[in-house]
Amino acid sequence: MKLKYPVLFGAAILSVGAIAQAGPNLVKNPGFEETTKPVTTWDQLDRATGWSNANAGSVDVFNKDACYVGAPDNDLGSTAAFEGERYAGFVAYKDDQRPNRVKRFLNHDESPFRPAYQQYSEYLQTELASPLTAGQEYDVLIRVKLAGTSDRTVSGIGAYCSPVKLEYNHRHFLTEKPQVSTSQQVADKANWTEVTGSFVADGTEKFIIVGAFPSAGMENAKAIEGGDNQRAYYFVDGVSLSIHPEPDTDADGIPDKDDQCPNEAGLANLGGCPDRDGDGIADKLDACPDLAGPADKQGCPDRDGDGITDNVDRCPDVAGVAAMKGCPELKEETKKLFEKALNGIQFESGKSVIKKTSNSILDQVVAVMKENPSYNLEIHGHTDSQGDDGKNQKLSEDRAAAVEKYLEDKGVEASRVKSMGHGETTPVDDNATSAGRAKNRRVEFKVVFWE
């Protein structure tokens, strides 16, 4: 189990969640695994490669088979490393006491001891792999555990990133203000506690110092079990400092600020946008996102190679022309049939009853429709100008509808046929002559491709 504590950054309390590293750990020997020589006893932090004391305190390294500072068992308790085999340890607070002379000579009701120095604290530091970048946000993660024999707990444990290596000759608390520190006391002796937080670098930081910082508002409390050793001693392991990951809503590894599709996982070479059909064209720009096609066709295929993409081609497996929505041009005999039908379809005078002499032409239209299932047909009825305009409009509609019904009765699907009348509004010849009026009384067929 890992506990996560809230941390202080400046004057703000930051909520804590799991920190995902966006880049490498800038702490070069984060778990104290690399050593320059074997660790044998107390006060040998300098044997952990790159690490040193920041003041005159004596931070320890815990190592298998070492005297007093073994791992997992040692004079301060028993704990396995968070990772690897080694870890370090430091005194965060020492509750120094001195005899209370007032009790001895004057007031027997007072405690036999009074607070003494109470300023002793130890700090460990190491140089970062590279200086931090001004304006960049960084995440800090430190694993700490209260030693089994510790009888005090403190808050304010954290990290200070310094522009210089600290070499204080004193053994008391550092006055530097940490960028990250705990706001609560760390009291868990059984589990590693994760102290986490983020901060924005000013670009001068080159070293990281770990310890307890009163300037962050340190408080202490007693946690006595058995004899009282009057100090808070913490094990530390897995120190990490890394670039804070940019927000990545769709978790595709491309930060939202660089992701053209921040809510859909995608590919880096497509600006973070998905490409379901794998044709190299982002779905949002692909007219056929589920069918691979070339870029010059907006990502759509063209199976029949007629230059009209399948998504708008009503005859995708037969080469055609744009005017016919990708279907072949009307055959000459079909064109002639429709021309013949213009005036060849006859009705009883003033009525919408089709004369039987027209059946032959209409049956040929039925055959064309059955041979070409991609065709839809519009039927347009027209009249001459004689008579009442309203009656002419109604007559043209009824005659077109009569032709539609004939085709449907012969097996043409109703969904493929539409009829409409235009009355006398679109003449093709002069209504002043009988020949002109005869041409204006007509039925037009138009092949169309409805969506």
208-262 residue pLDDT tens:
999 999 988 888 888 877 667 889 999 999 999 999 988 889 999 899 999 999 9
Q: Hey, what domains does the chain have and what are their CATH numbers?
A: 3-243 (2.60.120.260), 332-448 (3.30.1330.60)
Read off the pLDDT band of 2 (50, 70, 90).
very low
C-alpha count within 13 angstroms, C-beta hemisphere, residue 333: 5
CB 181 within 8 A of CB 195: yes
pTM of the model: 0.60
**What's the rounded Cα separation, in Å, for the pair 144 and 140?**
13
pLDDT number for residue 209:
98
* 371 φ, ψ (degrees, to nearest 5): -75, -20
CA–CA gap between residue 402 and residue 354 (Å, rounded): 7
Please write the tens of the pLDDT for every residue from 408-446.
999 999 999 999 999 999 999 999 999 999 999 999 999
For 122-135, what is each residue's pLDDT tens digit? 999 999 999 999 99
